[in-house]
């Protein structure tokens, strides 16, 4: 039995600096801070907390983080930082306007694969002419077995709801997507009370804090079996926790050909008898995916974060 078992339980639904909104089992939300200087909590964490009793701005102290099923990271120039935990699925929302970055998409899928989280891609704005090119660029992902769904959230909200409802049902899903892709439209479609929830969080964290940059948890249903997590900073997806030698095994199209390499420690860059490079030459791995693999491998090989 843990020394924390007697403490109250809670779910971290918003994280902003050293301030967290923790939701209790009866639905009450209160502002907490972690014990000590280090802040390891992320949205999706199950925690043990206790009241502060100090009369300060925060109402509770987070004493313990329960074991996580998985953990995702974001990366900036200086450090790797965790930002979401205990996910069931990642949905990467992309579009042709603005045209999605295949590098960002690949990094998100690699992070999901590394954390053993189910991932799928949703192409939004299919009513626009740019969707044809976006669909063509997504063909390699369909070919490697990744689910690619299509919708037009703003033009056909009822159809979009029919696409997303079974995708999200009964799961905790992280929605990823760059600005302009339709992420906010999606959240407002699936969570009509989203703006009210954001307002409550802003009040709890004090209106002066920039809550627009925070990671947030939304309940989709009254039974609280389905949840969405929205997080900004798509381009900063962190992969520096991944071993460079494991990278090709986290990319399904490359992984399928690793067994054909002459050398067990092949980097798939210049070694003779490389099954992966042969697959690229045969057109079985797209040139863009091959280029992105090389970019990420170089980053991981020289990473100061390891």
Whole-angstrom distance, CA of residue 219 vs CA of residue 207: 22
Beta bridge partners of 50: 61
126 annotated to a ligand binding site: yes
185 annotated to a ligand binding site: yes
32 annotated to a ligand binding site: no
41 annotated to a ligand binding site: no
274 annotated to a ligand binding site: yes
183 annotated to a ligand binding site: yes
Dihedral of CA 31/34/39/41: which sign?
negative
184 annotated to a ligand binding site: yes
202 annotated to a ligand binding site: no
Phi and psi, residue 67, nearest 5°: -55, 140
Question: What b-and-e string marks burial along 77-113, b requiring 16 or more CB atoms within 10 Å of the CB?
Answer: eeebebbbbbbbbbbbbbbbeeebebebbbbbbbbbb
180 annotated to a ligand binding site: yes
Percent helix, percent strand, percent coil in the chain, to nearest 5: 30, 25, 40
124 annotated to a ligand binding site: yes
208 annotated to a ligand binding site: no
64 annotated to a ligand binding site: no
Angle 61-67-69 (CA atoms, 0-180°, nearest 5)? 130
172 annotated to a ligand binding site: no
Going by the annotation, the residues of the binding site for GTP are: 124-127, 177-185
Going by the annotation, the residues of the binding site for Zn(2+) are: 261, 266, 268, 274
Going by the annotation, the residues of the binding site are: 124-127, 177-185, 261, 266, 268, 274
């Amino acid at each position: 039995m843990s020394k924390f078992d007697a403490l109250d339980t809670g779910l971290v639904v918003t994280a902003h600096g050293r301030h967290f909104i923790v939701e209790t089992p009866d639905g009450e939300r209160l502002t907490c801070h972690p014990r000590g200087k280090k802040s390891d909590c992320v949205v999706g964490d199950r925690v043990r907390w206790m009241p502060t009793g100090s009369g300060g701005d925060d109402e509770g102290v987070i004493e313990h983080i329960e074991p996580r099923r998985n953990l995702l990271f974001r990366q900036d120039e200086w450090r790797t930082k965790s930002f979401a935990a205990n996910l069931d699925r990642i949905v990467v929302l992309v579009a042709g306007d603005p045209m999605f970055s295949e590098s960002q998409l690949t990094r998100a899928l690699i992070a999901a694969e590394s954390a053993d989280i189910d991932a799928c891609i949703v192409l939004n704005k299919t009513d626009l002419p740019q969707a044809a090119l976006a669909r063509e660029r997504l063909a390699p992902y369909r070919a490697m077995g990744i689910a690619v769904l299509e919708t037009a959230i703003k033009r056909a909200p009822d159809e979009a709801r029919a696409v997303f409802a079974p995708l999200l049902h009964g799961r905790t899903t992280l929605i990823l997507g760059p600005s302009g892709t339709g992420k906010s439209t999606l959240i407002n479609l699936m969570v009509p009370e989203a703006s009210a929830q954001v307002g409550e969080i802003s009040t709890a964290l004090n209106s002066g804090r920039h809550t627009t940059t925070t990671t947030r948890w939304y309940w989709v249903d009254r039974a609280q079996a389905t949840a969405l997590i929205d997080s900004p900073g798509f381009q900063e997806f962190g992969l520096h926790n991944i071993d460079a030698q494991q990278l090709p095994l986290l990319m399904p199209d490359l992984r399928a050909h690793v067994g054909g390499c002459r050398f067990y420690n092949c980097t798939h860059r210049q070694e003779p008898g490389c099954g992966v490079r042969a697959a690229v030459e045969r057109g079985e791995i797209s040139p863009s995916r091959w280029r992105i693999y090389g970019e990420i491998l170089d980053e991981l090989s020289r990473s100061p974060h390891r």
